[in-house]
Amino acid sequence: MKIGILGCAGRMGRSLAHEVHVTQGAELGGGMEPSGPTVGQDIGTLIGIDPVGVKVVTDAATLFTTCDCVIDFTIAAAVNAHVKLAAEHKKALVLGTTGLGDAAKLAIAEGAKRTVIVQAANFSVGVNLLLGLTERVAYMLGPEFDIDILEMHHRHKVDSPSGTALALGEAAAKGRNVSLKDVGRRTRDGLVGARPVGEIGFATLRGGDVIGDHTVIFAADGERIELSHKASGRPIFARGAVRAALWTAGKKPGLYSMRDVLGL
């Protein structure tokens, strides 16, 4: 399978490109950057291997023309255009971009009617297991257990809470058969009063070079349960994304999740 990488010169983009290179059954089909010194450079040279004969381009449409599947971990503002290209060219899209608004979510739903889209807030196998456990534990525990989600990332991360933290909140809300929009609380500051029963809270930390730490806390009188996942390197996300890309082969158009890919 020829796999293209949008935003191939970034930290995540390079990790994705390298993972494609070392994965059996996958081939680097192309890389895209909107501008910068890497444009025109061989993508193999970019990631520190021998040249592969494919240069970094500025036009995303080129990747959807020449590749079987494209991986997008770029920015929310570009998602609509990338989904439209995937649908037009009937090419699979693996989407890991977070911080999406309602317009992007609608575009993804429409695009999935015409092509295969695998979307996940986090492509780590361990995080997707954590999502399943969070939903199950929330289902089993009563409202006497307060739920909070603590996440920490590096100082350069632009969205907050992280997409993974929000996904964990959705999993907890699903386990309790409620809507996160109704019970979620992202900030506490000042005299906020006693905590409402059933609230799902979020706490965000930013600093250093932390790849991604997530903890779901279930706290009741006299006891506390904590489910945690800590990422120490980006390759775990790249491995999951490339695995998802290979999984798209032969699938019917639709919107899939990493849980579909893993059979969870």
- Reported confidence tier of residue 244, pLDDT bands at 50, 70, 90: very high
Residue in 153, 214, 229, 252 annotated catalytic: 153
Indicate if 125-231 has the same CATH topology as 2-119+234-262. no
Of residues 84, 157, 174, 251, which has the active-site annotation?
157
Question: Could you confirm whether 153 is annotated as catalytic?
Answer: yes
Q: What is the CA radius of gyration of the chain?
A: 19
Q: What angle do CA 131, 132, 133 make, to 5 degrees?
A: 95
Contact 145, 219 (CB under 8 A): yes
Please check whether residue 215 is in contact with residue 150, taking contact to mean a CB–CB distance below 8 angstroms.
yes
CATH class of 125-231: alpha beta
pLDDT confidence bin for 264, thresholds 50/70/90: confident
Domain locations in the chain? 2-119+234-262, 125-231
What are the pLDDT digits (tens) for 69-119?
999 999 999 999 999 999 999 999 999 998 889 999 999 999 999 999 999
| CATH superfamily of domain region 2-119+234-262 | NAD(P)-binding Rossmann-like Domain (3.40.50.720)
Spatial strand order of the sheet with 27-32 comes to 56-57, 27-32, 2-6, 69-72, 92-95, 116-119, 254-256
Q: CA-CA distance, 261 to 217, in Å (whole number)?
A: 27
Task: With beta carbons less than 8 A apart as the criterion, state whether 32 and 63 touch.
Answer: yes
